[in-house]
Chain A
Amino acid sequence: MNATLSAIIIAFVQVVLFVFLAPLLMGVIRQVRATIEGRAGAGIWQPWRDVRKLLAKNPVRAEGSSWMLTAGPVALMVSSLLLCVLLPLVGTIPFPSIPSDLFVIVSVMLIGVVALALVGLDGGTAFGGMGSSRHMTVAALVEPTLLLAVYALSIPAQTSTISAIVETRLFSPAVIISPVSVLALVALSIAIMAETARLPIDNPGTHLELTMLHEAMTLEASGRDLAWLEVGSWLKLAALLGLVSNLVVPWGVVTEFSALALAVGVVSIAVKVLVLGVLLSVGEIFLAKVRLFQVPELLAGSFALAFLAVTASYLVA
């Protein structure tokens, strides 16, 4: 089958699958946490119900807030959906003129980061500004780790195209357990935790505390604006977990297009993401949020790992 057409089909499947999967993933993460903590929990479909409720409400806006309150959530949504299109989640067949270049993907993710930060500022309250400021500080400090991890991952494949990287790992699994790759993956995971506002950088369960990052920015949003902000953030988490799972366990991903391979790809990525979500949730039980001003130390540590990964791959290999 024609490569472009199969790329389009895979991208379409990825988007539809992840739009369905992302709220489910959040439901699973919350339910696992509730169960372990001995609470009944709201069930794994609660995020879906929340979104439906929010979409049916009249959004409220503060006087003086601008079009950013409407456009910001759309921009975040577009950035997250683009992540779902560009990342090799179900299959590694890229579009011919937009290869899934990791530098481009990181920048696309930054569109969402910026949109969220501007929404936070637009409300004109102290909380929004505070969340926005902290969010951007963390995003700025995460950037070196993120790009160096990309660099380290790109060395064995000799390209920063993520689908080629996943294929290299699929065909020569020795790469996955090489020290360089492990270092890079750990660094990447810490960076992703920070980017998606998970523990120990931000506490996703917190509300109306002086410590919050993500929640503070969405406080002024309501109704469908809030719904898109939430879905966008969930999508981003799901897509990035999908990326990590495909880097660690690349099996099941579609490299040659066929209906069977596509079905296997869809099921395998769904399972991988949900399993990773459960692991994340269990892991978070044992973590407390670190102080805001210790976050840079954590990120400096992850940066050191990423830097080691790159230099090691030059000097050791």
Chain B
Amino acid sequence: MTGIGAGLLLQLGLGALAVVSALMAAPSLRSRAGGILCTLIAVTGFVTGLAALLGATGGLLIPIALPMDPLLLAPDRLGGLFMLVVSGVGILVSLYSMSSTRGPDASRTAWVAMPVFLVGMQLVPAATDSVSFLLAWEIMTLGSTVLLLADHASRASVASAGIWYSAMSQLSFFFILAGFAVLAAASGGTSFANLQIESGSWPANVAFVLFLLGFGGKAELVPLHVWVPRVLPEAPSHVSAAMSGAMVKVGVYGGLLVCVRLLPDGPAWWGIAIMLIGGASALYGILQASVSSDLKVLLAYSTTENMGLVFLGLGASMLLRGYDATAAADAALVAALLLAVSHAAFKSTLFLGAGAIIHATGERNLDRLGGLGARMPVTAAAFGVASLGAAAIPITSGFVAEWMLLQSLIHGGRLDGAVVSVAASVAMPLAVAVIALTAGLALLTFVKAYGIAFLARPRSTAAADAHEVPPLMQLALALGALSVLALGLLPGPVAALVAHTVSPNPTAAVQSVGLGGVSLPGIGAVLDPIMLVVLSALVAIPVIVSIIVSARRHPHRTVDLPWGGGGSRARPRMQYTATSYAEPLVRVFDDVLRPSRDVQVTHVAESRYLVERVQVEQRVSDVFETRLYRPVLNLFQRYGIVVRQVANGSIHRYLSYSFVALLIVLIVVSL
């Protein structure tokens, strides 16, 4: 047995052990034992994935007696990359959950589901045939659904989220199953090697659309993202981190599997369709995130944005490859993968940070937070670094990926000085504009999230009484933040490794230069973050020295009444909140967001001219949910009411149904 096979087997064994331990262990030991075993599962997956990414081959054959291609788990380089990403998030989440879980989050069921979820996620990228892929996919979905429902007894919103999640994931599964069925019918095999058919043919087109719907649903693309703002906020935070950081990446892997591996070189409209959906998701996701005051809803929508950008890069690379702009296409694809990797790092850290805030304050409404920076320094630092990553600020991972995507796009419109095509010369500037607006709004979103939650003064007593979370949670947060920085400072080796997974000629696409810098030789662009840091340090030295010298002579003076404006201390209530922070944006994008605002003014009894209190309530609902899903759901509901009359409980009626059915069968058989 090869090393990879042993790793996969070990994971399965550890998973079984973790399930047994969750069932048997005493409640006081359950979280500790489960967390340790889950960490071991994730570490095993990390090593296995790394080996596969570096080019090790081998796998695990699952013997079956059915007449189809064998079930083989043998990750290739691309699968290895995603195993690495998923298990990396798994390590953070497992460490964190060891001390974060309490109450219903630490129940027996939840700890049984956790290893199932982790193992399922890692087996999907390892699968090399459609049957084991679908099996692993369902294991992953099952595990995540159970984890989501941990707290359903005390909160009604969790149960509703569970229904949405189950419905949407089964829809995804149905589309993926149908896609594989179409491919299998056309090609006559079930393993990925045998599934390949000609990309221009109609079964390929049908399968492409089905896969796009299926994987797009898992990757939170509009309009299939409706489960996201319900599920990710309602799940326990470590589960949200695993879902957003890892499970969504499995959806991205599915997209890559289809577009790069199974059906490469598709027609131009495939690329354009993916770019359109990706661009729409990016813009819609970040708009909703920027106006949200609920920290976890904000992070959930921001996931839609990031996945939109990933698919935008994927679509651009497909379009460009069709026009033989190979260098730009490769760069776009590597950029998409880097975005996925960096998203795994920063988004899981952000969700864990949100979990730490909830752990300390019980609040996830930004309007009631504030001043946490002084009370929870480690969480604040980790959340800050991850926010910088999400806002694509230099020396974080998010920046490198967006830079590479922009470079590939601006070089995609032309090839050797000639215009590639009209489609590309309109699509590329539009894509750049979408990325730019997304980046700008992401900046606002994360300045808001960090600034309102961690800076200034607490807006509620819960925030004022907050304390730093236990050391293991701090450790997970710190590891996450470090990975965001490491990916941003050393993008060269990472990008070069990633290029090996998708490009036939990786060294022509991406190279590592200097101390971890990245270079795109086909495009002629270079970025060396470490040099940028050195340069910043050089220019910062005189400023910092002058500050230190002058701080000794003129120290800060803390005053109770700094700018009291008339003598009264400005109260914390007078600060800007997350809602007011996003108010200008809500006005600017009024037509898209359609907020509903309710202002209630209570007057003083004696005079109509004096106001006693003003209450403002603003809701921004999801346009897709109210306009697209509600009508369909209402239709189903009406249908359900009608059908209820057909099945009204009368035994005579049911017997007559059976009789008629039998008659029809007999008639059909006799024909």
Contact = CB atoms under 8 A, between A and B. Distances in A.
B62 interface: no
Contacts of A111: 393-394
A82 B536 contact: yes
B588 A141 contact: yes
Contact of A63 (B406, B513, B544, B559): B559
A104 B570 contact: no
B394 A293 contact: no
A194 B426 CA distance: 26
B478 interface: no
A104 B403 contact: yes
Interface residues of A, number: 81
A154 B432 CA distance: 13
Interface string A127-153: 011101110110111111011101100
A114 B558 contact: no
Nearest to B572: A124
A55 B437 CA distance: 38
Given A104-B532, A113-B443, A129 B580 contact: yes
B346 interface: no
B447 A107 contact: no
B309 interface: no
B671 interface: no
B249 interface: no
A272 interface: no
Nearest to B411: A158
A110 B441 CA distance: 12
A202 interface: no
B666 interface: no
A204 interface: no
Interface residues of B, number: 85
Contact of B525 (A113, A117, A122, A159): A159
Contacts of A132: 447, 451, 576, 581
B452 A121 contact: yes
A310 B425 CA distance: 8
Interface in A257-276: none
Most buried by B among A66, A137, A293, A315: A137
A136 B580 CA distance: 13
Interface in A75-120: 77-78, 81-82, 85, 95, 97-99, 101, 103-104, 107-108, 110-111, 113-114, 117-118
8 contacts: A63-B560, A74-B540, A74-B544, A77-B540, A82-B539, A97-B531, A114-B443, A117-B451
What 8 A-B pairs have minimum CB-CB distances, sorted nearest first?
A129-B576, A143-B440, A140-B440, A314-B425, A124-B456, A121-B451, A81-B539, A147-B436
Interface of B: 290, 370-371, 373-374, 388, 391-394, 399, 403, 406-407, 410-411, 413-414, 417, 419, 422, 425-426, 429, 432-433, 435-437, 439-441, 443-444, 447-448, 450-452, 454-457, 513-514, 517, 524-528, 531-532, 535-536, 539-540, 543-544, 546-547, 550, 554-560, 562-563, 570, 572, 574-577, 580-585, 587-588
Interface of A: 15, 55-68, 70, 74, 77-78, 81-82, 85, 95, 97-99, 101, 103-104, 107-108, 110-111, 113-114, 117-118, 121-126, 128-130, 132-134, 136-137, 139-144, 146-148, 150-151, 154-155, 158-160, 219-220, 223-224, 228, 292-293, 296, 303, 307, 310-311, 314-315
